[in-house]
Structure 1
Amino acid sequence: MQYLEFKISCSEPYREILIAELSEIGFDSFLETDEGLDAYIQEDVFQRNTFLEIIEQYKEAGRISVQEGILPKVNWNEEWEKNYDPITVGDQVYVRASFHPSKPEFPHEILINPKMSFGTGHHATTYLMISHQLNLDHQDKRVLDIGAGTGILAVMAHKLGAAHIEAFDIDEWCVENGNENFDLNGMATVRMGKGTVREVKPQGPFDIVLANINKNVLLDEMEVYSSLVKEKGYLLLSGFYEHDIADIEKRANEFGLVLKDKKIKDNWAALAMQKI
C-alpha cells in the first residue's frame, strides 16, 4: 500500500490548523518543516475533494501552496537509523532500535525497528497510550491492539505480562514490520493480522482493547470496540486532539463505556474508558 506525500507551505499559525483538519480525514503522520509541514496518508483512504476543500478554505489567509508526490517504499530501517533517537516514558519504559545500546536500568525495554508504519513512541499519541498502559494491570490478561502500526502497544502489553495478545492493521507494511518487531521482543507466537476490525472479526471478550487511530474511525467503530471489551474491562483510545475529547466520550458513553482517566500531550489526547 502506497503513501501519498504532501509538502505544504503555509504561514506558521496555520500549521496546527492544517494538522488538525487533515487528521480528521485520514492523514496519519505529519512532519513540521521550516516552510510549513509534510503530511502523509495512505493512498486508498485519500479523499481528494475533501482535501482540496480544506486547502481552499485556508489557502488565501494561510498563504498555502501544495506539492504532491508518492512516498517510495525505501529501507526505513536505514533511514531511521540516521535520525531515530531512543525515547523514554517516565522512568519505566525505554524504546530503542536494535542499533541503540540497551539500558537495563529501565524496567521495560522495547525494541522497535520502524519501516513505513508510524509508531515509535515519538508521536504524542503513542507516548500517551503507553502511559495509560502502565496504569493498568496486564498480568495474565487478554489484550487486543487495533490499528497496531509497528506493534509497539502490543509489545508493551507483552512486557506488562499479558497472557494473550492479538494485533492487526490495514497496512501490509505495518503487518510485515509489526511481525518483525514482535520477533525482536520475544513474541514469535504473536502474528499481526491484516484488515479493519470488522474484517478481522476478533473474538472477544478482551480485558484491554487498544485503539490509536483517528477520530473518524474511532467514532465509526466505537460500537464494535465496546462489544469486544469485557465487563469492567478497559478501552484505551487515542489519535485525536484535546478538543475532540467531548465527541469521543459522548460516543463511548452510548455503548456503556465511562471515562476513567485522560492524558494530554502537545494538544493530543488519550482516554482510558471502562466498560460498565
Structure 2
Amino acid sequence: MKYKEIKVSIPKDFAEEFSAYLDEWQVAGYYEILFDREEPRKPGEEIISDNTPIRVYLAEDDIQSEAKIWVYLQTVAAENSFAESRWIETKEYEEAYKEFYKPFSIGVFWVVPTWEKEDWEKKSPSDGNGSVPVYINPGLAFGTGHHETTRLVLSRLGSIDLKNKKIADIGAGSGILSVAAAKLDAAKIIAVDIDPNAVRSSTFNRDENGISSELLAVEEGGFDHPIVSSETFDLCVANITFAVLKANMEKIAALHTDHYLFSGVITERKQEFLELLSSQVGGELVYEASWNGWELIEWIRK
C-alpha cells in the first residue's frame, strides 16, 4: 500500500487549527516537528521560526483530504504557507518521523527512542549504554530532547542530587525530564501539562521506562493544579517559554518550594526574568547556562 506524504509549512498562528482539522478529516497520520534544532542559529535567524513544519500522511485513496489541505492553506495563508507532496511506501510511512530521531548523549543520560529500546538494552557498557538511559517516543508532544532547553535541563539534572527528593515538572511535554529525574532516584514526581497530547505522551514514556505511577504521577494541568499548588517540593522544574512564565509569576511565587530550575527563556529576556524572580519570588541565582540563545536558570529562595 502507498501513502501520500504532504510536507506542510504553515504560520504558527494557524498550526493548532490546522491540526484540529486534520483530526476532523481523520487522516492516516500527522506530526509536528517541534523545536528540533540541532544546528546553531545563523546570524539574524529567529530562535523560533514563524512557521511550523507539519508532516501529513494520507491513505492512497484519500483524495478529499488532500484537496481540503490545499484549499485550507490557500485560504488562510496563501503567501506564507508551503506544501509539497510525494508518494511513499508503507514502510516509509511507518518509519517517517523516526528517521530524524536517533540516540544521543547529554550529561549522564543517553536519550534513546523507544523503538530502539530492545537493541539498546542488548549493548554492553563499552558501546555507550553505561550512562542512564531515558527511552522517549515524543509523538506530538514537545520534548524529543533535541531542543536546547531540554538539553540544558537534562545536563543540569545530572549534577543535582535528586535522591529521595520530591519534584514538580510543570509543562512536562513528552515527560522526558520527569523520566530522567525518576532514573536519578527521585522519591516522587508530579508531572503536569495543559495539553492532553502531552499527558498521553508522558504516560506512555513513563510506562516504557518501567516507572510506576506511584513514583511518577502524570496529570493534566499547570501551576494551579491542586497537587502542584498545595504540596511541598524539593525542586520545581519548568521548561516553558518566557511569556508563560511571566504570566504565572504569582503562581510560581506561591509554590511550596525553595528550589527552581527554569528553561525556555531566550537570552534577550533573561535579565527581565531575573528581575521578576527577584521581586516576586525572592532569593538568588545559583547557576546559569546558555545554549544557542536559550537560558537555563537555577534559582534558590531563602
Output the TM-score relative to the length of structure 2.
Answer: 0.67
Aligned equivalents of 2:250 and 2:81: distance in 1?
38
The residue number in structure 2 matching 1:173 is 197
**How far 1:192 sits from its partner (Å)?**
1.5
1:16 is aligned, of 45, 49, 67, to 45
5+ long unaligned stretches in structure 1? 23-36, 41-64, 70-75
CA 1:85/1:237 → structure 2, altered by over 3 Å: closer, same or farther? same
1:79 is aligned, of 93, 96, 100, to 96
Matches within 5 A, 1:210-249: 210-230=237-257, 233-249=258-274
Residue 206 (structure 1) aligned with residue 233 (structure 2): yes
Aligned equivalents of 2:249 and 2:95: distance in 1?
37
The residue number in structure 2 matching 1:72 is none
**How far 1:170 sits from its partner (Å)?**
0.9
Q: Which amino acid in 1 is paired with 2:274?
A: E
- Residues 36-59 of structure 1: CA distance to partner in whole angstroms, max 9, x if unpaired? x5368xxxxxxxxxxxxxxxxxxx
SS in 2 for 1:206: coil
SS in 1 for 2:224: helix
Residue 136 (structure 1) aligned with residue 165 (structure 2): no
5+ long unaligned stretches in structure 2? 1-14, 20-31, 34-40, 55-78, 84-92
| Contact 1:143/1:165 (8 A) holds in 2 | yes
2:219 is aligned, of 163, 177, 193, to 193
CA 1:257/1:16 → structure 2, altered by over 3 Å: closer, same or farther? farther
The residue number in structure 1 matching 2:301 is 275
- Residues 38-89 of structure 1: CA distance to partner in whole angstroms, max 9, x if unpaired? 368xxxxxxxxxxxxxxxxxxxxxxxx51189xxxxxx98533222111211
| Contact 1:4/1:68 (8 A) holds in 2 | no
CA 1:81/1:256 → structure 2, altered by over 3 Å: closer, same or farther? same
- Residues 113-160 of structure 1: CA distance to partner in whole angstroms, max 9, x if unpaired? 111002011000000011121121101011000000000110111011
Matches within 5 A, 1:86-125: 86-90=103-107, 92-100=108-116, 101-102=119-120, 104=125, 105-125=129-149
| Contact 2:189/2:217 (8 A) holds in 1 | no
| Contact 1:209/1:225 (8 A) holds in 2 | no
| Contact 2:47/2:293 (8 A) holds in 1 | no
Q: Which amino acid in 2 is paired with 1:82?
A: E
SS in 1 for 2:243: helix
Aligned equivalents of 1:258 and 1:244: distance in 2?
17
**How far 1:3 sits from its partner (Å)?**
6.1
Aligned equivalents of 1:234 and 1:118: distance in 2?
24
SS in 1 for 2:48: helix
| Contact 1:209/1:235 (8 A) holds in 2 | yes
**How far 1:252 sits from its partner (Å)?**
0.9
Output the TM-score relative to the length of structure 1.
Answer: 0.72
* C-alpha RMSD of matched pairs (Å): 3.0
- Residues 177-202 of structure 1: CA distance to partner in whole angstroms, max 9, x if unpaired? 11000001122313321122224552
Q: Which amino acid in 1 is paired with 2:254?
A: S
CA 1:238/1:191 → structure 2, altered by over 3 Å: closer, same or farther? same
The residue number in structure 1 matching 2:275 is 250
Percent identical pairs in the alignment equals: 29
SS in 2 for 1:243: helix
The residue number in structure 2 matching 1:263 is 289
Aligned equivalents of 2:94 and 2:269: distance in 1?
34
Q: Which amino acid in 2 is paired with 1:238?
A: S
SS in 2 for 1:253: helix
